[in-house]
Amino acid sequence: MKTGVVFDIKRYALHDGPGIRTTVFFKGCPLRCVWCHNPEGQSPFPELLVRPARCLEACHLCLETCPETAALKVQNVVRVDRRRCRVCGSCADSCPSEALALVGRRLSVEEAAEEIFRDEPFFRQSGGGVTFSGGEPLMQAEFLAELLRACRSRGVHTAVDTSGHVPWMSLESIREDVGLFLYDLKMMDDRRHRELTGVTNAVILENLVRLVRSGSRVVVRLPLLKGVNDGPDHVEAAAQRLSRLGGIERVDLLSYHALGRDKYGRLSRPEWAADFFPPTPGDLERIKKRIQAFGLEVRLGG
Ligand code: SF4
Ligand code: SF4
* First-last CA distance in the chain: 33
251 part of a folded domain: yes
Q: Which atom of ligand 2 is nearest to the CA of 97?
A: 3
pLDDT of the chain, 302 residues: tens digit per residue: 799 999 999 999 998 999 999 999 999 999 999 888 889 999 999 999 999 999 999 999 999 999 999 999 999 999 999 999 999 999 999 999 999 999 999 999 999 999 999 999 999 999 999 999 999 999 999 999 999 999 999 999 999 999 999 999 999 999 999 999 999 999 999 999 999 999 999 999 999 999 999 999 999 999 999 999 999 889 999 999 999 999 999 999 999 887 777 788 788 777 665 688 899 999 999 999 999 999 999 999 86
Ligand nearest to the CA of 59: 2
Q: Percentages helix, strand, coil for the chain, rounded to the nearest 5?
A: 35, 25, 40
The total of other beta-carbon atoms located within 10 Å of residue 114's CB is: 12
Q: Can you tell me which atom of ligand 1 is nearest the CA of 81?
A: 5
Ligand nearest to the CA of 78: 2
C-beta 90 within 6 A of ligand 1: yes
In a domain? residue 174: yes
pLDDT of residue 125: 95
pTM flag (> 0.75): yes
Query: How many Cβ atoms sit within 10 Å of the Cβ of residue 180?
Result: 20
**Among 62, 81, 85, 98, which residue has the most ligand 2 atoms within 8 Å of its CB, making it the best to mutate?**
62
Quick one: pLDDT at residue 274?
A: 64
Alpha carbon of 90 to ligand 2 centroid (Å): 12
Question: What per-residue confidence (pLDDT) applies to 127?
Answer: 96
115 domain residue, yes or no:
yes
Residues touching ligand 2 (Cβ under 6 Å) are 55-56, 59-62, 78, 94-97, 99-100
Q: Which atom of ligand 1 is nearest to the CA of 90?
A: 7
* Ligand 1 in reach of 71 Cβ (< 6 A): yes
* 80 Cβ closer than 6 Å to some ligand 1 atom: yes
Q: Is residue 2 part of a domain?
A: no
SS3 state of residue 162: strand
CA 6–ligand 2 middle distance (angstroms): 25
Domain containing residue 211: CATH number: 3.20.20.70
Measured by CA distance, the residue closest to atom 8 of ligand 2 is 55
Query: What is the SS3 assignment for 298?
Result: strand
**220 closest CA partner among 175, 186, 256, 171:** 186
CA-to-CA distance for 83 and 205, rounded, in angstroms? 39
Ligand 1 pocket, residue 68 CB under 6 Å: yes
| ω into 155 cis (within 30 of 0) | no
Q: What is the per-residue pLDDT for 149?
A: 98
Half-sphere exposure in the Cβ direction for 207 (13 Å, CA)? 26
| Cβ of 231 less than 6 Å from ligand 1 | no
Q: Which of 80, 100, 120 is the last residue of a domain?
A: 100
Regarding whether 260 and 119 lie in a shared domain, the answer is yes
89, part of any domain: yes
Q: Give the range of the structural domain holding residue 87, as residue numbers without chain letter.
A: 47-100
Question: Which CATH number covers residue 58?
Answer: 3.30.70.20
C-alpha of residue 104 to centroid of ligand 2, in Å: 20
17 part of a folded domain: yes
Closest-lying ligand to the alpha carbon of 50? Answer: 2
Q: How many distinct structural domains can be found in the chain?
A: 2
Domain boundary (62, 80, 100) is at 100
Backbone φ and ψ of 184, nearest 5°:
-80, 135
Q: What is the per-residue pLDDT across 71-116, written as a single tens digit (0 to 9) for each?
A: 999 999 999 999 999 999 999 999 999 999 999 999 999 999 999 9
How many CB atoms sit inside 10 A of residue 184's CB? 21
158 is a domain residue: yes
